[in-house]
Amino acid sequence: MEKIVEQGLLYDFYGELLTKHQQSVYEDVVFNDLSLSEIADEQGITRQGVHDLIRRCDRTLLGYEEKLGLIAKFQKTKEKVTEIHRLTEEFSRTRNQALIEAIGRISNEILDL
């Protein structure tokens, strides 16, 4: 996964667990695409300070994902829902009852996540 996409997902799931200051700086880097210099000037800290803060935030957010696994669970659920959608479209065309059983199995897998 591309780093910026990964950072965005991590922030979406766990960003509220960061301090307000960390959230502000992280949002400026990830979502607002500001340079370290721009953020340093805005926050009144050094470029190195901004860099270190971003690295700490990345490690913290990754740590939350390693412990909680919410993003992994979300992605697995999304894949299974996509498969259910595909099977329902196929069922609409074929009326194959075996597809209903497959949908039920996948639904149970989602509930077990």
Burial class of residue 61 (count of CB atoms within 10 Å of its CB; 0-12, 13-18, 19+): buried
pTM: 0.84
Give me the phi and psi of 31, to 5 degrees please: -100, -35
Share of the chain above pLDDT 70, in %: 100
Contact 50, 25 (CB under 8 A): yes
Burial class of residue 104 (count of CB atoms within 10 Å of its CB; 0-12, 13-18, 19+): exposed
Kindly indicate whether the domain formed by 3-68 is annotated with CATH number 1.10.10.10: yes
pLDDT category at 45 given cuts 50, 70, 90 is very high
pLDDT digits (tens, 9 = 90+) for 48-100: 999 999 999 999 999 999 999 999 999 999 999 999 999 999 999 999 999 99
Q: Which helix (H) or strand (E) holds 46?
A: none
* Residue 17 DSSP symbol: G
Q: What is the pLDDT of residue 106?
A: 95
Residue owning tokens 């996540």: 113
Residues recorded for the chain? 113
Q: What is the pLDDT of residue 27?
A: 97
Evaluate if residue 1 carries a pLDDT over 80.
no
Domain ranges in the chain are: 3-68, 72-112
Average confidence (pLDDT) over 42-51: 96
pLDDT category at 113 given cuts 50, 70, 90 is confident
